[in-house]
Chains A and B, each alone.
Chain A
């Protein structure tokens, strides 16, 4: 069960981060200027082009991915340790 939750956390957390940074980054490049996540301004400071995807959405996806990792950490914290992990802490005698 723990392994499944670990894999789910990896897939969901990493997937959200990859979607926010890379997936929507590709969309931004394909959509034309601005290629980054900030509005493009002219010399007078007027906005002449805005990102296709709201940067708040992209950063929100990345934060959500990090939150998944955080929740997994909390889950590990409240879950009793597996017996073999505890057993490995005991001293063993060698000849």
Chain B
């Protein structure tokens, strides 16, 4: 005789397919998106596409776990960093708010937050700080494909084009 137990589920349990999960993920995604949109759009208002602090910040990132990469970027990629920081922050924010190209945008957010976490080095209270939490937020959006919850990716993934090219889900989701 074989007894099969269904997983114990009560209203106090956390259901992965439950309404609160979708709601909470969408909320986190939108607020994370607003965070970056605000950072980007205010830079655009103040400095346009000439955010000169960006290359200078990276030139100061000496002795980090990223080795000479950020300093080299600050010295040689100023043409990309100056317009790229405000522009990409704004676009990443908009994408997350809309829930479109969520995984691609979240990957961009992860790259930014890695630089902020290592570059700011605000480790006075340990390595786990606000920058790392931001990094983990973006990573969570990426892993869970948060754009499917009340986001445009949920619609985009149902299109015939995406169904014919299912690997697009690695940048949607």
Interface residues of A (CB under 8 A from B): 6, 10, 14, 17-18, 21-22, 25, 29, 35-36, 76, 81-82, 85-86, 88-89, 91-95
Residues of chain B lying within 8 A (CB to CB) of residue A18 = 30
With a cutoff of 8 Å between Cβ atoms, the chain A residues found around residue B41 in the complex are 29
Q: Are B11 and A17 in contact (CB under 8 A)?
A: no
B45 touching A29 by the CB < 8 A rule?
yes
Of all chain B residues, which has the CB nearest A32?
B45
B9 close to A76 (CB less than 8 A): no
**Contact flags (1/0) for B46-65 with A, using CB distance below 8 Å?**
10000000000000000000
Q: Which of B2, B8, B12, B27 contacts A94 (CB 8 A)?
A: B2
Docked complex: B1-51 residues within 8 A CB-CB of A: 1-6, 8-12, 19-20, 23, 27, 30-31, 34, 38, 41-42, 45-46
Q: Is the CB of A76 within 8 A of B12?
A: yes
B10 touches A17 (CB 8 A): no
- Please give the number of chain B residues whose Cβ is less than 8 angstroms from any Cβ of chain A in the complex: 23
Task: Name A2's closest neighbour in chain B (CB-CB).
Answer: B11
Partner of B30, one of A22, A36, A81, A86: A22
> Is A14 in contact with B23, judged by CB distance below 8 angstroms?
yes
Known: A17-B27, A18-B30, A92-B5. A81 touches B38 (CB 8 A): no
Given A14-B27, A29-B45, A35-B45, answer yes or no on A85-B11 (Cβ-Cβ < 8 Å). yes
- Give CA–CA (A35, B42) in the complex, Å: 7
10 A-B residue pairs with CB within 8 Å: A6-B20, A17-B31, A29-B41, A76-B12, A85-B11, A89-B9, A89-B10, A92-B4, A94-B2, A94-B4
Residues of A within 8 A of B3 (CB): 91-94
Question: In angstroms, how far is the closest chain A Cβ from the Cβ of B94?
Answer: 13
**Which B residues touch A86, using CB under 8 A?**
10
Do A21 and B31 touch across chains, with their CB atoms under 8 A apart?
Answer: yes
Q: Hey, which chain A residues are within 8 Å of B19, CB to CB?
A: 6, 10
Which of these, B5, B9, B12, B34, contacts A22 with CB under 8 Å? B34
Which of B1, B4, B8 makes the CB contact (< 8 A) with A88? B8
Question: What's the minimum C-beta distance from A52 to chain B, rounded to whole angstroms?
Answer: 14
User: Once the chains bind, are A89 and B8 in contact (CB under 8 Å)?
Assistant: yes
CB-defined contacts of A17 to chain B, threshold 8 Å:
27, 31
B2 interface neighbour in A21, A85, A89, A95, Cβ under 8 Å? A95
B6 touching A88, Cβ below 8 Å: yes
